[in-house]
Amino acid sequence: CDLVSGLKLISVERAFAEKHYADLSAKPFFSGLVDYIISGPVVAMIWEGKNVVVTGRKIIGATNPAQSEPGTIRGDYAIDIGKLFLCRNVIHGSDSVESARKEIALWFPDGSVNWQSSQHSWIYE
């Protein structure tokens, strides 16, 4: 039972985008990646739940949209990774729990909303 515990619509500033993608700063597509994420508003989310990173990556689809299954976000909505690689990839998802912790701290410095679904006790033992 995954749940959203953080959600906001924001306009991303260049310095923030560069910090978010700092691990990719040496890549040739870094500048285009930053330009793309600052080109319009971004919906940032925190999802919580058992195996949520693995489940989230399945919902998102493969990094290359051409290799993403139909029914995934990238498979249905991403068109091309293009010359700049990730620049038109429509969605980002943490690739590990460690990355998620770092990204949540950056995007949600005040933390997440702490609540539990009424279904929790029916789903988890």
The catalytic residues are: 92
**Contact between 39 and 17 (Cβ < 8 Å):** no
Task: Write phi, then psi, for 69 (nearest 5 degrees).
Answer: -70, 145
C-alpha 121/C-alpha 116 separation (Å) is: 9
C-alpha 72/C-alpha 59 separation (Å) is: 5
